[in-house]
Amino acid sequence: MNQGFQQFLKHWFKTSAGLAIFNQEKQLIDKYIENLFGYFLVQLGCVSTENLTQNSRISSKLLVDDTVAPDFVQQKGIYWVQAELHFLPIGQDKADVVILPHTLETVDDPYYLLRRVDNMLLPEGHIVLTGFNPIACMPFRLKYFSKLTGFKKAKFRRANRIKEWLEVLG
């Protein structure tokens, strides 16, 4: 996992520009997950101190990350597992919803992670993805982030490529 970009996002989402984008993402996630039913929700990766799962009706929530402090997670009503994302400790057909907040941008092999997520999802499960569009944010990247090493470590993928991967997985 690319902790450089993940740590960058944790700090950047606290700035005024980053917080505005994060709040928009959180509103979209909240709107989408509030009506999803199930028994087990998994969030892979953590880019903020905000609870991205709080609007979910699902009672069992798990955050898998290699850097989050357990005391933060437990106070938010989420169980926490410290693990590398390429060694996910979740079995086949176990999760109803999996949230990936900018997670595909932090892993070396995003298609491998999506295969693992597909494996852990129940047949009618849902994947919730957030990420930056590398083409649309190019001027923003050049103007504001060209000197920030954490942002340079991101592994951006086009939305069409991710859509193709998801179609292959079914």
**Residue with more model confidence, 32 or 153:** 32
What is the per-residue pLDDT for 140?
Answer: 58
What are the tens digits of pLDDT across the range 89-113? 898 999 999 999 999 988 889 999 9
**Residue with more model confidence, 141 or 115:** 115
Q: Looking at residue 98, which CATH number applies to its domain?
A: 3.40.50.150
Backbone angles phi, psi at 52, to 5 degrees: -75, -10
Q: What is the pTM of this model?
A: 0.85
Residue with tokens 């079914």: 170
How many independent structural domains does the chain possess?
Answer: 1
What are the tens digits of pLDDT across the range 36-90? 999 999 999 888 878 899 899 999 999 998 876 656 666 667 888 888 888 888 9
Give the Cα separation of 104 and 120 in Å (integer): 16
Q: Please give the residue range of the domain that contains residue 146.
A: 3-169
Residue 31: Cβ-neighbour burial (10 angstroms; 0-12, 13-18, 19+): exposed
SS3 97: strand
Indicate the average pLDDT of the chain: 83
